[in-house]
Amino acid sequence: MSSNERVREALPTTAGVQPGWRPWLRRHWPVVALTALALALRLAGSRSNLPYLYSPGESIVVRQALAYGAGTLKPYTFIYPPLYSYILFACYGAYYVLGHLAGAFPTVAEFATSYFVDPTPFYWMGRILTALLGSATVPLTYAIAARAYGRKPALAAAALLAVSHLHVTHSHYVLTDVPMTFLVALAAYLVQRAAARDGLRPWLIAGLAVGVGVAMKYLAALGGLVVLVGALGWARGRSWRRALAALGIAAGGALAGFIVACPYAVLDFSALWDDLVGVQLGLNTGIAAPFGETLRFYGQTLFKTALGPPAAVAALGGLLYLTWRRRWADGLVLAFPVGYLLFLGFQGRYQPNWLLPALPFLCIAAGALLMALAQRWAGPRYRATLWSIALLALLAYPAWYSYFHVVSIRQKDTRTLAKAWVEAHIPAGTKILLDSSTTGPPLLQTLESFTRYFDQAAVDKAMDERDPVAQQAFGSYRQYQLEAARRLAGRSAAYDLEYMTLAWWRAEEGAADMAEIPVFGVYRERIFTLDQLRQAGFQYVIVSSFQYVKYVSEEGRALWPSYYAFYRSLDEQARLVQSFAADPIHQPGPDIKVYALQGAP
């Protein structure tokens, strides 16, 4: 079957069928069903843990969106591109208008304060949007695979992405990885369409998609590899001038798309340069891992949480198979995942969610290999049966783990349980030290604690030297946060809290003193032992395994001796009064330990 015949078989047609949606649905119900399944898995538990925020990256996007309400669309940082926060800002604007008309938000200040009292609506809206974009990537993956390989490989690819544990998990968060994955897949689909036509306009549209993707997350710039491969293949039988024209138009479209979606990249280029180059390159230099270690991590992620062992083998085998065939249509599928993974390897930093943009293409490669093996090993009579059995075998592992993820996030997190215990057993106003502001129980701070925090933050951020807009935004943020704290004071116990800020951005500790303990926050650059913490009035220390597990190992002892000494001193010099052990399914979260300093040996 030729490539054109596969396209005609896979894509909707109107010839010979009566108008309306029913004929289309009869032919494409499997794709509709897979999309519905994907949406169900991604929406289930979307309100989990709210109003508590256990995914710290979410607050960066949401708070950036709310900050635009101060009167400027300039993002306060370019470390993350602003497109998703712009979209959320529009959603929040509509929410405010509806609430204002209904009498829920008589003023903008009341609307802003409502976020700090209960942020549930703001995060839930963002999570729903992420779930929708994640689910929409499933039919988009089908469309890409159908154009390249036909209907059955496309169904296999869409099914694998629909139940991918990694994709399902991150479709529950207000983060940019899943939206970027959608936009990269959209760009690849538009390149396929452009390569099937004679005009240059489709290349402009494909370039726009790449540029908008970069405004969502910078790594989407590697989607330009698909444009490059597509244009080179499109040049066959045409003049190279046409190919260069296509590339030029696509590049112009990408630049225009990025500038429209991220205008302050031009209006404040120096800030973009400082954040993007200064911070990112600084991180790469400070904590970059070797190339092999980085790729090994992504391989482990692919096998453990992305697709599972059987489907991961099929995906990697599919990449090798498509490379061995050396067909131009395969190059469109290979260009992004191969280039993207090589770039991540050289970058030297790794997180599981960074694998997400490559997933649609890995699923397509697995689907293509599955169909090729079925055609090779089975005759026409048994081919469909073998293909179905093999596909179910590939789907079993990720589908099972995605189901248990949905079950797990509906359970109470250990941090929520720890919060309830603290409020029931530790008097309000007690002075407590936590080893993180994001990975421990979400305790309410007293007004005095909040005020101390903001006073120190103003010094750390050099607010006196910032422009008037930034000063106004900071002042409003402080005002709304303190007002929310006053309103919440009567609902739950508030505590005098301090937080440690561990130097996670470093590969190892600098000058270490085994007899001293680093405690940051208000006490920035001051050192405390547990005895000094007692003298400062601290009565409890609460720690989270999301923090301490890195430091209490033998490797942590060698690289972070002061941090190792701090956590060991808690076991030796403090009294463990309560702990909460995590369970992957029934009790998600970190292990939480509560230590009493007063009255300890």
- DSSP symbols for 243-271: HHHHHHHHHHHHHHHHHHHSTHHHHTHHH
Q: Which amino acid is at 184?
A: V
- Could you tell me the two tokens for 219? 């790594």
Least confident window among 83-87, 283-287, 353-357: 283-287
Maximum mean pLDDT: which of 232-236, 265-269, 519-523: 265-269
Is the pLDDT higher at 206 or at 561? 206
Residue type, 339: G
Q: 505 φ, ψ to 5°? A: -80, -5
3-state secondary structure at position 518: strand
Residue 506's pLDDT band (boundaries 50, 70, 90)?
Answer: low
pLDDT tens digits for 87-109? Answer: 999 999 999 999 999 999 999 99
What pLDDT does residue 178 have? 97
Strands 431-434 and 540-544: parallel
How far is Cα 146 from Cα 138, in angstroms, rounded to an integer?
A: 12
DSSP state string for 282-321: HHHHHHPPPHHHHHHHHHHHIIIIIS-HHHHHHHHHHHHH
pLDDT (tens digit per residue) in 395-419: 999 999 999 999 998 899 999 999 9
Give the integer Cα–Cα distance in Å for 221 and 418: 42
Q: Tokens for 406, please give them.
A: 């949905």
pTM: 0.88
Mean pLDDT over 64-70 rounds to 88
Beta bridge partners of 576: 595
Burial 479-493 (b: 16+ CB within 10 A, else e): ebbbbbbeeeeeeeb
Q: What is the pLDDT of residue 286?
A: 54
- How confident is the model at residue 504, as a pLDDT? 61
pLDDT band at 509 (very low <50, low <70, confident <90, very high): low
Amino acid at 128: I
Q: What is the per-residue pLDDT across 444-501, written as a single tens digit (0 to 9) for each? A: 999 888 888 888 888 877 888 777 777 777 888 888 888 888 888 878 899 999 888 7
Task: Encode pLDDT of 524-567 as tens digits.
Answer: 334 467 888 888 889 999 999 998 998 888 888 888 887 888 88
Q: What is the dihedral of CA 566, 572, 574, 576, to 10 degrees?
A: 110
Cα-Cα-Cα-Cα dihedral of 478, 479, 482, 484, to 10°? -120
The first and second tokens of residue 255, run together, are 């630049």
Least confident of 270-284, 369-383, 513-527, 541-555: 513-527
Position 574 scores a pLDDT of 92
CB 595 within 8 A of CB 569: no
pLDDT of residue 11: 44
Where is average pLDDT lowest: 37-41, 129-133, 285-289?
285-289
Q: What number of other Cβ atoms are within 10 A of residue 98's Cβ? A: 11
Distance CA 223, CA 504 (A): 30
The residue-averaged pLDDT of 567-586 equals 90
- 517: pLDDT confidence band, cut at 50, 70 and 90? very low
Q: What are 36-63's pLDDT values in tens digits? A: 999 999 999 999 999 999 987 898 899 9
Element (H, E) at 194: helix 177-195
Q: Under a CB-based contact definition with an 8 Å cutoff, are residues 388 and 378 in contact?
A: no
The enclosing H or E element of 596 equals strand 592-596
- Cα–Cα distances (Å) from 55 to 59, 105, 335, 551, in that order, read 8, 27, 32, 21
